[in-house]
Amino acid sequence: MFLQAKYGKIYNSFKNKYLEIKDLQGKLVAILGYGMEGNATAAYLLKHGIKPVLFDQRPWKDWDEIEKSEIKKLGVNFIFGPDAFKELAGFEIAFRSPGVNPSHPDIQLRIKDKGLKMIVTSQTKWFFEHCPAKIIGVTGTKGKGTTASLIFEILKCSLPIYRLTERPINGQTTSEKAYLTGNIGKTQPLVILDDLKSEDYVVYELSSFQLQDLDRSPRIGVVLMVTSEHLDYHKNLEEYIEAKSAITKFQTADDFAVVNDDYENSAAIGRLGQGKKVYFNRRTELSGILAVKDLQLRGAHNLENVRAAVSVGKILEIPDDIIRKAVIEFKGLEHRLEFVAEKGGIKFYNDSFSTTPETAIAAIKSFTEPEILILGGSSKNSDFDSLGKTINASTNIKALVLIGEEAPKIRQAIGATRLNIIQGAKSMPEIFEQIKAVAQKGDAVILSPACASFGMFKNYKDRGEQFKKMVLGM
């Protein structure tokens, strides 16, 4: 399989230029930003005999009791509050969590200290510097979670074949394993780092926050659509694209860049580095491997994700029938245009992760059958004009169920219409009573709210879970 154990040698040749655990012994080590990643970083350091101090700008009183219990269980000191980073004087090494901007003035003050300069790293940076396995990194403005998960499923389908045949590598048999980590993975990178071997594969979903301080690129870097996002964090679009560029710009001639060249920003990132270029776009043929009609994933945007994952499978020399099986069986991510069930000839889709007009528009365009859409929720100060135009231009929308505080604003964006617009539901059971009154065999009912969930629901997961419970209980 792809480059086999060769990367173990490459890893060893670079390894000595980076900090090792032994370099942290006896040092003041900080973790900047506490959350899932901060917790995993603290556990990793404690496992190796390093006792860090936690810093977070969120006041202690704002953490719930479960979170407070987890923090106390770590047995480390912590400094929480808006001015927490002002207490970094004297710290020699800091692990930055993704949500903490490295340009924060208190962090920059410590980095530029003429006396004791603080070295800032991150869980992702440390992982890339010390990982012996082959990393497949996936980034993009949208679609990276779906694509990373699909690549992981393709690997899972393929690896047992190589184990069963005990294919020799340098005279030795292999037992490759695949891992999914990063934003989408249930397992944090530092939790698996000590167990990884050179023949393993790690599929890593990478945001701009994680990429921006890397000086190594993954062995296979996948660049999906890159448009514009997180401009409340990055100074401008140029900084956002520059952060994303780490996915390819440090690649060697032995690496691969898989790039969607339909998008100029993506193509520009793809041109960086020395990796072999593998381009795909919305016109890339899939017919040699699978038929689009057989996919459970819906929408043109998901076809782009499929093409990216198939490209990676081909690089890895995975047989077409294995790729086909994995892709056809892949249902998508939970709460992301997830097929729930078919009841009485009516298909139900849970797209509760859709909290913007853009994602709802993508959902609308994913169907040709008659659609019943559930739209609305709490405010994110979104502009619904484009959503209204898409609804009015669609010929297959049968009815709209508008909910939450944003219902009037969405209704206004639609304007005069002959569509059946239903309002007034205050709960998921009431929503389903309204759906039952209009849905017929052949329809698709889609929860794609285009709004946040607060008010009627705890969060988007709660909203999606309630929707699925109602469907499965029908």
* Token pair belonging to 26: 């006896």
For helices 36-47 and 65-74, the axis angle rounded to 10 degrees is 20
Contact 208, 230 (CB under 8 A): yes
Q: Return the CATH number at 458.
A: 3.90.190.20
134 forms beta bridges with 201
Residue 380 lies in a domain: yes
Residue 9 lies in a domain: no
Q: In degrees rounded to 5, what are phi and psi of residue 423?
A: -135, 170
286 and 317: one domain?
A: yes
With H, G, I as helix, E, B as strand and everything else as coil, classify residue 292.
Answer: helix
Residue 11 lies in a domain: no
Determine the Cα–Cα distance for residues 203 and 254; give it in Å rounded to an integer. 18
List Cβ neighbours of 311 (8 Å cut-off, separation of 6 or more).
222, 258, 278, 280, 284
Burial class (CB in 10 A: 0-12, 13-18, 19+), 102: middle
Determine the Cα–Cα distance for residues 118 and 75; give it in Å rounded to an integer. 24
411 and 266: one domain?
A: no
272 and 238: one domain?
A: yes
Q: In degrees rounded to 5, what are phi and psi of residue 373?
A: -105, 140
Of the residues 274, 306, 329, the one at which a domain ends: 329
Q: In degrees rounded to 5, what are phi and psi of residue 251?
A: -70, 150
Longest dimension (CA), the chain: 73
Q: What secondary structure letter does DSSP report for 23? A: G
> Which tens digit of pLDDT belongs to each residue from 29-70?
999 999 889 999 999 999 999 999 999 999 999 998 999 999
Residue 269 lies in a domain: yes
* Token pair belonging to 470: 């109602």
Residue 418 lies in a domain: yes
With H, G, I as helix, E, B as strand and everything else as coil, classify residue 280.
Answer: strand
Burial class (CB in 10 A: 0-12, 13-18, 19+), 395: exposed
Q: Which residues form the domain of 258?
A: 131-329
368 and 320: one domain?
A: no
83 and 200: one domain?
A: no
Q: In whole angstroms, how far apart are CA 320 and each of 154, 382, 441?
A: 10, 43, 36
**Residue among 158, 464, 80, 105 at smallest CA distance from 314:** 158
Task: Give the pLDDT confidence score for residue 102 in this predicted structure.
Answer: 85
H or E, element range at 398:
strand 397-403
Task: Give the pLDDT confidence score for residue 234 in this predicted structure.
Answer: 54
HSE-CB at 268 with a 13 A cutoff on CA atoms is: 12
Could you tell me if residue 11 is left (phi over 0), alpha (psi between -120 and 50 degrees) or otherwise beta?
alpha
With H, G, I as helix, E, B as strand and everything else as coil, classify residue 375.
Answer: strand
Of the residues 329, 363, 381, the one at which a domain ends: 329
**Amino acid letter, residue 183:** N
367 and 318: one domain?
A: no
Q: How many domains does the chain have?
A: 3
Q: In degrees rounded to 5, what are phi and psi of residue 422?
A: -115, 130
Q: How many residues does the chain have?
A: 474
Contact 432, 426 (CB under 8 A): no
Sites in the chain below the pLDDT cut of 70: 1-17, 160-175, 185, 228-235
List Cβ neighbours of 179 (8 Å cut-off, separation of 6 or more).
133, 152, 185, 187, 192, 196, 200, 201, 202, 203
Residue 226 lies in a domain: yes
**Residue among 292, 296, 5, 345 at smallest CA distance from 171:** 5
267 and 139: one domain?
A: yes
178 and 271: one domain?
A: yes
HSE-CB at 125 with a 13 A cutoff on CA atoms is: 21
Of the residues 64, 95, 126, the one at which a domain ends: 126
With H, G, I as helix, E, B as strand and everything else as coil, classify residue 316.
Answer: coil
List Cβ neighbours of 10 (8 Å cut-off, separation of 6 or more).
252, 254
Task: Give the pLDDT confidence score for residue 243 in this predicted structure.
Answer: 80
Determine the Cα–Cα distance for residues 298 and 351; give it in Å rounded to an integer. 11
233 and 304: one domain?
A: yes
Q: Please name the residue ranges forming H helices in 316-456.
A: 320-329, 357-364, 385-393, 407-414, 428-436
**Amino acid letter, residue 388:** G
Q: Return the CATH number at 167.
A: 3.40.1190.10
Residue 7 lies in a domain: no
Task: Give the pLDDT confidence score for residue 235 in this predicted structure.
Answer: 64
**Residue among 131, 137, 122 at smallest CA distance from 275:** 137
Task: Give the pLDDT confidence score for residue 160 in this predicted structure.
Answer: 62
78 and 110: one domain?
A: yes
384 and 304: one domain?
A: no
Determine the Cα–Cα distance for residues 84 and 55; give it in Å rounded to an integer. 6
Residue 174 lies in a domain: yes
Please report where in the chains the tokens 């404690």 appear, as a residue. 46
198 and 292: one domain?
A: yes
